[in-house]
Amino acid sequence: MEQPNFAELHYLATTAEWRLDRYYTWDLMTELLRGWVATWPSLATMSSIGTSGEGRDIWVVTVTNQATGPDHEKPAYYIDANIHAAEVMTSSVALATIHYLLTNYERDPSVRRLVDETTLYVVPRISVDGSEQFLTTSEAVRSSTVPFPTNLPASAHEGLEPQDIDGDGLIGSMRIKDPAGPWKVSERDDRIMLPRRPDEYGGEYYFVLPEGLIRNWNGGKIALAPSRSALDFNRNFPVDWRPHWEQAGSGPYPLSEPETKAVADFLLSHPNVHGAQLHHTAAGMILRASARYSDEEIPRLDRRAYDAIGAIGSATTGFRCFSPFHSNPYQPGKPSFGIESDWLYDHLGVLAFMTELWGLAHRAGITWDNYIELEDARTEESDRQILRLLDEEADGRGVVPWKSFDHPQLGPVELGGFEEKFGLMNPPGPLLPREIERAVPFAIGAMGVAPRLRVIDSGTEQIAADVWRVWAIAGNEGFLPTCGSERHRDSGASRPLTAEISLPPGATLLPGSAPATQALEHLAGRVSQHTSFHFSARYPNLSRGHVEWLVTAPDGTRLEIVIRGEKAGVCRAAVTVGATS
C-alpha cells in the first residue's frame, strides 16, 4: 500500500520560511523561531521552559525591546497554544502574533509602544509530542502520547477503534446500509447525511460510525472504544483538580505531566503577567472566567475588565464571549475542573481567556444562539452552506466524497464524510490566513490594556540647612489596576507597590522619615470608570499615589527613586536636591 503524503494532506511547511497557509512540525517551528530571534536579537529571545515526555523542548519566545528594560520589569501578556494536540491552528496564530510584532515594530508606532513598554511571552506549542503525531500520521490524541488511564481492564477497550483502514492517510466515517439505520443520504448532495423521520420507512438507511476496526466483536452491538490516550493537559492544573473518574482526562495528579508543570513553573516565576490568551479550536467563541462558578462570584471590576477585553476579541474575530460555566455546551452550570485559565485567574490573578479559534460553521456564515444549537440543530441547508465554502475556497478539502470499501468485519461499507483534522478541527490551508488575520489583533489589543506605572512628578523641598523633603507622585496610565485584577488583590497574594529611594554617600534618612523602601497602595486603572458617562460626572481619581522621604544631603545631591509593581512594571525618576523645578 502506498504511504500517504502527509505533507500534502496536512498542509505542512517543507522549509522554515514563514507562510500563513502552512502548518509547522516541531523541527521546522524550532528553525523558524531561531531565525526570527537571529534577525531581531534586540526584540526577541527564545528559551526552553522544559522538555516533553519524548524529549522535545517546549519553547517560550519573549518579545520586548531589551534596550528599554528587561522583560521582567514590564507588564507582560502571556499566550500559549496547542495544549490539545489536534488544535494545530493555534500554533499558527501564536507564531503569527510574534511575527506581527517583530515585522511591524519599525513601521507602526502603536506596535513600537507595545514592544518598548510591555512584554509578550509566547509558548507556541505545549503538546509538542501529540502535535507531532497529529501532523505526521493519521493518528490523533487529546494531549499526550502517554497512555491514560492505565489501570483499566482489557475489556474496557473493546469496541470500535478509529483507524485509517484504507490507507489514504485520513480517518473519516463509515456509512453502513441497514434498515434500522437512523440516517439517510441527502437527495441534493450525497455527501450530506440527514436524520430519518420518526415515521419514515421504505428507503435506504444507514448507521454512520468512525472509520476503524472493532476489537473483540461478536457480531452484536458496536460500541465506541474509549481512547487509550485520554489525558487532557487542560484538566491537569492545580485548581479544584479532580481524579479522572470525576473529571475526564485529569491525569494521575495535578501537574503530573512535564508539559503542564513546565507551563506552571514558568508562569509562577513571571508574576509580571497580567493577562493571557490560551488558544484552542474549534468552536468559534471566546471563553472567560469561570469554568467552575457563576458570574456572581467574579468581582465587579474583573467582570467589567473581562467584558471590555472580550469585546475587543469579538470585534476582531466575530466570536461571542462567554462564560464556560454558564455556556457549557451540554450541561449549563456544570463545572469543569483543573482548567488552565481558572488556575491563572484564581491563583495568579491573571485575566485569562480561552480563545476557541476557527469554526467551520461560523466561517460559512452560519450563526447560532448557543453551542448546543450549533451541534444539534444543523439543517441540510446549513450543511450545504458549509460544503459550498469548502468547494469554493478550499478546493473541496475538508470533506471526502463517499466511496465503497470492503470492510474486513462489516463487509460492504462506504468511507468518507467531513475531515476531522483539517476541516472540523483546523482550517484547510487555503482558509488558514484569514483566520490568523482575524485572531492576531485580539492578542495585540489585549496586550494594550496592561497597567502602566509612571512617575508623574517628583521634586524636593528644603526644610532646613541640608534637610529636604523628597517626594514623588506615581500614576497608573493603564486600563487595568496595578494589581492586575480584584481577584488577585482580594486573595492576599498581590504584593503592594513599592517605592524606593537610593541614597548616595553623604545622604541619609532622617529619624521619623518613611523607610527607604515603602509600600504604596495599588492604583486604579481606567476600568474603574469604564461605563457610560454619568451626567453628574462625580468621578474620583484613584490612579495616583504620593510618597515622600525626609533626607539630609548636601545641596546638589542626586537621588534616584524607583517605583515597582509586580504586574505594572518599574519606573524611575532622578531628583537633585536644591534644583529648581
pLDDT digits over 326-364, tens only? 877 667 778 999 999 999 999 999 999 999 999 999 999
Q: Which amino acid is at 400?
A: V
Q: What is the pLDDT of residues 514-551, one digit of tens each?
A: 999 999 999 999 999 998 887 777 888 999 999 999 99
512, with CB counted inside 10 A (0-12, 13-18, 19+), is: exposed
Residue pair 227/141 in contact (Cβ under 8 Å)? The answer is yes
b/e map of 213-239 (b: 16 or more CB within 10 Å)?
ebeeeeeeeeeebebebbbbbbbbbeb
Domains along the chain with CATH numbers: 6-142+230-358+427-447 (3.40.630.10), 154-225+364-418 (no CATH), 453-576 (2.60.40.10)
Q: Tell me which residue has cell 487542560.
A: 234
CA distance 548 to 462: 13
One digit per residue, the tens of pLDDT, for the chain of length 581 reads 567 899 999 999 999 999 999 999 999 999 999 999 999 999 999 999 999 999 999 999 999 999 999 999 999 999 999 999 999 999 999 999 999 999 999 999 999 999 999 999 999 999 999 999 999 999 999 999 999 988 777 777 789 999 999 999 999 999 999 999 999 999 999 999 999 999 999 999 999 999 999 999 999 999 999 988 999 999 999 999 999 999 999 999 999 999 999 999 999 999 999 999 999 999 899 999 999 999 999 999 999 999 999 999 999 999 999 898 887 766 777 899 999 999 999 999 999 999 999 999 999 998 776 655 666 678 999 999 999 999 999 999 999 999 999 999 999 999 999 999 999 999 999 999 999 999 999 999 999 999 999 999 999 999 999 999 999 999 999 999 999 999 999 988 899 999 999 999 999 999 999 999 999 999 999 999 998 887 777 888 999 999 999 999 999 999 999 999 999 999 999 999 987 64
CB atoms within 10 A of CB 197: 9
- Respond yes or no on whether the N-terminal peptide bond of residue 290 is cis (omega within 30° of 0): yes
CA distance 39 to 44: 9
Q: Is 307 left (phi over 0), alpha (psi -120 to 50) or beta?
A: alpha
- Calculate the alpha carbon distances from 352 to 127, 129, 294 in Å: 19, 25, 16
- Respond yes or no on whether the N-terminal peptide bond of residue 225 is cis (omega within 30° of 0): no
CB atoms within 10 A of CB 89: 26
CA distance 125 to 101: 19
CB atoms within 10 A of CB 422: 22
Q: Is 137 left (phi over 0), alpha (psi -120 to 50) or beta?
A: beta
Residue pair 203/232 in contact (Cβ under 8 Å)? The answer is no
Q: Quick one: cell of 150?
A: 492505565
Task: Please give the torsion angle defined by the CA atoms of residues 218, 220, 224 and 228, in that order, rounded to the nearest 10 degrees.
Answer: -20
Tell me which residue of 328, 324, 318, 327 sits closest to 364, measured CA to CA: 318
H-helix or E-strand containing 305? helix 300-317
**pLDDT at site 374:** 64
Residue pair 4/168 in contact (Cβ under 8 Å)? The answer is yes
